[in-house]
């Protein structure tokens, strides 16, 4: 399910948005900076400062993860189930590898949120659907660079 295209989109995204639901039914969406594809069926998210997300996953494992390349304005929405793997769990070292590689010494990873993928849908900026003849990745990049006041690297 996590195809090479999804892996590449994850690598281009600086944040993912992790949606959970509390025991009382209250939705919570939280940005996550350290996340990675793990295999074809799982992605992993570092619990760096996420007590609400962890608490919510413990009471309701249904989650949604989305990520978008802000320049191309494309990404993916992943629906799945999550479980929390604490630092002292026997399989922690199995799951934390790709996260530790990204986090380095900058962040302490308290636990790993492992998401089992149930479905994946593409996310596209509305311009791709509403104006397909004139909307290209290049035009979206140019528009985003203008909006953010940035220029391509030399």
Q: Kindly report the pTM of this predicted structure.
A: 0.90
CATH numbers and ranges of domains, the chain: 4-148 (2.30.110.10)
Flag whether pLDDT at 145 surpasses 90: no
Flag whether pLDDT at 105 surpasses 90: no
For residue 142, give the 3-state DSSP assignment. helix
> Residue 79 and residue 137: Cα distance in Å, rounded?
25
Q: What is the mean pLDDT of residues 85-95?
A: 95
b or e along 36-48 (b: 16 or more beta carbons within 10 Å of the residue's beta carbon)? bbbeeebbbbbbb
Counting every residue written for the chain, the total comes to 154
Residue 144 confidence (pLDDT): 87
């Amino acid at each position: 399910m996590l195809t090479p295209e999804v892996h590449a989109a994850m690598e281009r995204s600086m944040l993912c948005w992790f949606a959970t639901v509390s025991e009382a039914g209250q939705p919570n969406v939280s940005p996550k900076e350290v996340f990675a594809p793990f295999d074809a069926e799982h992605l992993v998210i570092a619990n760096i400062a996420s007590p609400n997300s962890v608490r919510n996953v413990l009471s309701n494992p249904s989650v949604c993860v989305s990520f978008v390349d802000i320049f191309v304005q494309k990404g993916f929405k992943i629906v799945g189930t999550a479980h929390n793997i604490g630092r002292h769990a026997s399989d922690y070292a199995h799951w934390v590898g790709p996260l530790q590689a990204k986090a380095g010494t900058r962040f302490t990873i308290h636990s790993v949120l492992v998401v089992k993928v149930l479905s994946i849908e593409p996310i596209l900026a509305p311009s791709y659907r509403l104006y397909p003849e004139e909307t290209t990745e290049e035009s979206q990049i140019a528009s985003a660079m203008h909006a953010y006041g940035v220029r391509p690297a030399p």
